[in-house]
Amino acid sequence: MTSVASFFFGLMVALSFLSLQLALASDPGHLQDFCVADATSSVLLNGVACKNPSTVTANDFYFRGLHVAGNTSNAQGSRVTPVFAAQLPGLNTLGISMVRIDYAAGGQNPPHTHPRATEILTVLEGSLEVGFVTSNPNNNHFTKTLYKGDVFVFPSNTVHYQRNTNWNAPAVAIAALSSQNPGAITIANAVFGSQPGISADILAKSFSLDVATVNYMQSKF
């Protein structure tokens, strides 16, 4: 191959690669300072439409309430108080959110995933047993007991949980998530409480249970 032919061949490869990168690329940063969510808009977007910047105020970037303990009087003994774009409009397009999690004595935040976010959690009061499980085929379980001031990260999409290890006192944690709307899929609810329900035969085979046990489990959701 001549030097000229080599040059044009290399140029074509580089242009092909550049075209592929452009096709797959997304905006690396914001195109404006902010895009405060407009809850009144009927426009359907992958996110929320922006308010007119001239109507934005400081309150659009403000949320009050994380000092208030959540009501943990439920079957799991926990309560998540979210601060997503729905609660704090100024978070829209910023790719971040947070939650307060309250745990009753012995309470838990049951196994769940966040389909759109990594989570980093800090214990404010008490102690928590936390863990996550990696994807197939290894399904490795990483678990740790955390105390006040400790931090733990749950990688995006992994099944994870927290449990208050103290049966005599509540616990509190704050978590940040890498999405304005991270989503949550609680495993038990999704599997046994879907609407319409998954066939009991399928679940029985999947979990090596009998159909009667599956029917009982589904009745609880």
CB 85 within 8 A of CB 97: yes
Give every CB contact of residue 69 below 8 A, 6+ residues apart in sequence: 102, 170, 172
Q: Binding site membership for Mn(2+): which residues?
A: 112, 114, 119, 160
- Find residue 177's DSSP bridge partners: 97, 119
State the Cα–Cα distance between residues 134 and 188, nearest whole angstrom.
18
Q: Binding site membership: which residues?
A: 109, 112, 114, 119, 160
Q: Binding site membership for oxalate: which residues?
A: 109, 114, 119
State the Cα–Cα distance between residues 155 and 174, nearest whole angstrom.
16
State the Cα–Cα distance between residues 115 and 118, nearest whole angstrom.
9
